[in-house]
Amino acid sequence: MPLNAETIRDAPKVLLHDHLDGGLRPATVIELAAEGGYGALPSTDAAELGHWFLAASHSGSLVRYLEGFGHTVAVMQTADALVRVASECAQDLAADGVVYAEVRFAPELHVEQGLALDAVVEAVLEGFRVGTALAAEQGRRIRVGCLLTAMRHAARSREIADLAVRYRDVGVCGFDIAGAEAGFPPTRHLDAFEYLRQQNAHFTIHAGEAFGLPSIWEALQWCGADRLGHGVRIVDDITIGEDGSAKLGLLAAYVRDMRIPLEMCPTSNVHTGAAASLAEHPIGLLRRLRFRVTVNTDNRLMSDVSMTSEMTALADTFGYDWSDLQWFTVNAMKSAFLGFDERLALINDVIKPGYAALQA
Ligand SMILES: [Zn+2]
């Protein structure tokens, strides 16, 4: 099978880094705004609003980029709205050929109208259940877990970590911190990470996106992160010689030796300026050096991407073939916050047969 958007959509894909408040359907944002009396949207036409989000993410201004989240978070303040957004997320990912996803959101951002943190989590989990069931009726099997995010500039991480542990058996598979990296090192939240480690819980940390190596080093060696959100700046610890050979510094070597998963989101990185272009994105080098690279969407609405479009763009840019896409997918499945036997079952029963059929 040739690689194109249509055939890649049929390929089983695994997504580890996707923000719930960054992946709404434009039409849903408009409907929820109308229901909730939110009047600040830049447009009430779905196509126009979609373009507005994309333009904001391209603007080169972080303030304008974050303005987009102001709108989506504003319409996600009731249990009904959260159920709907989560359900549509599961359905959209399933329709895109995603077979396993971990979707993250920050409960503390959804309490403006009085919802308790527990109620926020329960609504999102209910939405994933509904969406997964609806997708199954369409013949699309997907499993969706969720990661609870704490905002790195705020002071609720310990509380959110507790929430992640309490809901671990009913759909929450891990924890994350997100938000501006500069000035807010992950070590500010050490108590949360220590608690999670004591509880044998999993967590990832947004690190090395805009900010460099110190952020990655702290996330791994002080906080004990299982995975790195983005981690693109690890290339700053790799020197390429004139003959093309690569020399890894101690931190880069640690990341590769320990098979630390990198949740890479190429298009999103280009939009926020963390990479100049897709062609110059460090994913090309890191894949070549066999780091544990995974491919992700980050914010499907803001960047107008899907797992299919992201994989298609990478295949076009770097000449990847089916075996490369399978490699990214197996990497992601191996790195999931899911039991070993279940990961193995998805790799052997779903992913490998899926790619074998496409390559046959
Ligand atoms: Zn992210």
| pLDDT, tens only, 118-165 | 999 999 999 999 999 999 999 999 999 999 999 999 999 999 999 999
| pLDDT, tens only, 156-172 | 999 999 999 999 999 99
pLDDT given for residue 144 in this prediction:
98
Residue 192 within a domain = yes
What CATH number has the domain bearing residue 285? 3.20.20.140
Looking at 88, 122, 181, 209, which residue is catalytic? Answer: 209
Query: What does the angle CA 19 – CA 24 – CA 25 come to, to the nearest 5 degrees?
Result: 150
Residue 179 within a domain = yes
CA distance 284 to 279: 8
258 burial via Cβ count (<10 Å: 0-12, 13-18, 19+)? exposed
pLDDT given for residue 129 in this prediction:
98
Tokens of 111: 């309490």
Residue 49 within a domain = no
**How far, in Å, from the CA of 105 to the mean position of ligand 1?**
10
Residue 266 within a domain = yes
| pLDDT, tens only, 87-112 | 999 999 999 999 999 999 999 999 99
Tokens of 254: 């640690």
Give the chain's length.
360
CA distance 280 to 16: 23
pLDDT given for residue 58 in this prediction:
85
pLDDT given for residue 251 in this prediction:
98
Q: Mean of the per-residue pLDDT values for the chain?
A: 96
Tokens of 346: 């998805």
Overall number of domains in the chain: 1
Which range marks the domain in which residue 298 is found?
Answer: 5-24+76-354
pLDDT given for residue 210 in this prediction:
76
Average pLDDT of the residues in 26-35: 98
* Residues in a beta bridge with 277: none
CA distance 284 to 295: 12
pLDDT given for residue 336 in this prediction:
98
Residue 43 within a domain = no
**How far, in Å, from the CA of 47 to the mean position of ligand 1?**
24
DSSP string, 246-294: EEE-HHHHHHHHTT--EEE-HHHHHHHTSSS-STT-THHHHHHTT--EE
| pLDDT, tens only, 307-340 | 999 999 999 999 999 999 999 999 999 999 999 9
Name the pLDDT band for 64 (thresholds 50, 70, 90).
confident
Name the pLDDT band for 65 (thresholds 50, 70, 90).
confident
Residue 39 within a domain = no
The answer on pLDDT for 232 being more than 80 is yes
- Asked if 122 is an active-site residue, the reply is no
pLDDT given for residue 179 in this prediction:
86
**How far, in Å, from the CA of 359 to the mean position of ligand 1?**
32
Taking Cα atoms as reference points, which of 251, 215, 248 lies closest to residue 230? 215
pLDDT given for residue 212 in this prediction:
87
**How far, in Å, from the CA of 80 to the mean position of ligand 1?**
24
